[in-house]
Structure 1
């Protein structure tokens, strides 16, 4: 397919997403099934167009004075992909698969600039109702944080040190030009490409099949390290999901001690068994969601890790469609769930144990606010200073701005080149 046909396909996929209210991944898959003539490169390019349109939906729509799928995709082609609109218009002529030619107004708008009085939430490409929260979290930098969150993410891998070292992973994936991550000492990354660049499929690589590495954003690697797990201790991963952080913690603990991996959703937990085997992890005991599954652990655990369900605002680069679906009601639901999990998690700690709270959110309601409420309700707990641990774990001081007013660590694309994450480690009273 040529670019005009890809643009038309992206417009069709976005239209499907809007009219049928389904996730982008499902709409892209459905388009691929219905158009089997399209090759892998075509599907990747169409996906890039769709995701780029959603990443900067507010600013593209403001510039075009139109938020239709057509206006968004044309804006991506010119503003993000660097296409010359006149040349692009010429390529539409005589192409049966091309969109309708640019109108005179579209041609004028697509090369224009946003006005000086453009609202901050448009410049930041975030929902208007979230602007106060983001300004509270990041102060004068909130628009810059939003702009960074509207970029493309890199593909990051965590070396499984139970089986390999980063040098082996770099060699195994040399054809993709990987480089070490900037902060995580066990990370390998492939920076995002532009335009129709394809993301490497690393899960068919020999190294992945042998358990040398896992796909894991560098931010997730950082908070896993800052969880502070040590060999020999008893650790409860209370919201283990598919096991990504359990695997990282097991490697940190060198397969020594015991990790109890639990999740209330059996379906989320299902992939962990194959992943544990492939990674050579021996110190994880999976606890299925049964009545009293964790009753024997109350008051016996050194470290409880809560990778809490959240709005996922820190993953907007990867899932930009969720940015525009988020509602105040969903945020309130997540905050209530997090509060309940913190109250539940602290019951399992030994005196002096550590409660580690993690989200992939950039909203203060789910982060510092949540910790403040917990500390007020549980006298004797205190947040641990994480900056010395950062220095020892990564061999460098923490970047300016990552320490939060509430004693946590906040990662963002602008600050750390990662997805958005938050971590706070609270020590229980003796």
Structure 2
């Protein structure tokens, strides 16, 4: 029996795509806003809207090939309808006899989709320039690219300041959430199925945070001691700062900084929920660097990057990323390494990290930094490979100041 689609849900997907591609809005924010707009939608409706929006974005180029659209940008709403109809056809839906779908030839769509002579750029649905760069800079690019096109899983981190892994598993089971433990991770759990969890009592009580396993590994890589002074210099909304506090048993001092003040406000809210009181927040600028020079025992630099390691959860990024942005972000990373490392004491430890798979943002940056500074030595470095782990892609390097 073929699956059926309801028009209000298809229209929701349509509006999502228009906002994401024509208005350049971020996919996760658009989808979240859409789902909040109609509280009458049930879990199945919400899943249809979210999953089909993400899947159409993820397979955009392959889908354009399948429905035979050549335009680079869609000015005509009909092209978006054609993409939706093509994807629903591929997914085994019975297309309604709507005006928007009348010109769509289902057999042709399926034939094109199944053709085995497609190039990798079309088959894996990625821009030419990014595929060529990945081939040049990313080890095992074929496997990484295939994994980056899989839907992301949801990982959570146990807040050990309030509970432990075994107790949290029991609490979540009572709340209807099934989880698996993650091999080689002491505080990570994986949801067996994607579902809404930020409304749960256990979440509101601060028993856990949503955090990818790769991201958790970066914090464990720094491995700060209790009572230490840590500066998280690119903290954002503070997921890593909160884990640092848990590893330090809420003992010592964490200074979480970012260039955007609004993100730090979110961190302060999360810290209260997590029962963390050793975090102080500050906007980072030259004055901050001067006042806190050589203050940190540990320094975390989770720097801005291309985000090529997190395309599973942000598939729209591959269509919005430009070579010019990549050139700019590499310069920003170099500037951060040059300026922010002044915050670290002699004998202190720092971790440089990105959520990128590109060598130019990772190993090449550390090689360049070490060639320009004789104050630091590289202790170890590691890539988190999506293809090998199923996690997001990360790079991390642990350095010590002499």
The TM tier, using the shorter chain, reads: 0.7 to 0.9
Aligned to 1:403: none
SS across alignment from 1:311: coil
Q: 2:348 aligned with 1:353, yes or no? A: yes
Displacement of 1:266 in angstroms is 0.8
Residue number among 362, 371, 375 corresponding to 2:370 in the alignment: 375
**Is the 8 Å Cα contact of residues 125 and 147 (structure 1) preserved in structure 2?**
no
**Is the 8 Å Cα contact of residues 411 and 419 (structure 1) preserved in structure 2?**
yes
Q: 2:124 aligned with 1:138, yes or no? A: no
Q: 2:103 aligned with 1:77, yes or no? A: no
Aligned to 1:416: 389
Q: Call closer, same or farther: CA 1:20–1:297 in 2, change over 3 Å.
A: closer
Q: 2:18 aligned with 1:15, yes or no? A: yes
Counterpart-to-counterpart distance in 1, 2:268 and 2:181: 28
Q: 2:30 aligned with 1:57, yes or no? A: no
SS across alignment from 1:202: coil
**Is the 8 Å Cα contact of residues 230 and 299 (structure 2) preserved in structure 1?**
yes
SS across alignment from 2:21: helix
Q: 2:316 aligned with 1:321, yes or no? A: yes
What whole-Å deviation, never above 9, does each CA across 1:200-234 have from its counterpart, x for those lacking one? Answer: 22112121111111111111111111122222222
Query: What residue ranges of structure 2 are gaps of 5+ in the alignment?
Result: 71-78
Aligned to 1:425: 398
Query: What residue ranges of structure 1 are gaps of 5+ in the alignment?
Result: 193-198, 386-407
Q: 2:242 aligned with 1:242, yes or no? A: no
Counterpart-to-counterpart distance in 2, 1:412 and 1:73: 32
**Is the 8 Å Cα contact of residues 121 and 131 (structure 2) preserved in structure 1?**
yes
Aligned to 2:46: 43
Q: Call closer, same or farther: CA 1:102–1:229 in 2, change over 3 Å.
A: farther
SS across alignment from 1:185: coil
Counterpart-to-counterpart distance in 2, 1:9 and 1:203: 23
SS across alignment from 2:287: coil
Counterpart-to-counterpart distance in 2, 1:295 and 1:230: 25
Displacement of 1:289 in angstroms is 4.4
What is the correspondence of 1:14-413 to structure 2 with a 5 Å cutoff? 14-25=17-28, 27-28=30-31, 38-66=41-69, 68-79=79-90, 81=91, 83=92, 88-89=94-95, 92-93=96-97, 99-101=100-102, 103-104=104-105, 106-113=106-113, 115-139=115-139, 141-174=140-173, 175-192=176-193, 199-289=194-284, 292-385=287-380, 408-413=381-386
Counterpart-to-counterpart distance in 2, 1:17 and 1:188: 31
Displacement of 1:187 in angstroms is 0.8
Counterpart-to-counterpart distance in 2, 1:191 and 1:343: 42
Counterpart-to-counterpart distance in 2, 1:204 and 1:35: 17
Displacement of 1:345 in angstroms is 2.0
Counterpart-to-counterpart distance in 1, 2:208 and 2:133: 36
Aligned to 1:395: none
Q: Call closer, same or farther: CA 1:375–1:286 in 2, change over 3 Å.
A: same
What is the TM-score normalised by the length of structure 1?
A: 0.82
Q: Call closer, same or farther: CA 1:207–1:12 in 2, change over 3 Å.
A: closer
How many residues are aligned here?
A: 389
Counterpart-to-counterpart distance in 2, 1:307 and 1:17: 27
SS across alignment from 1:384: strand
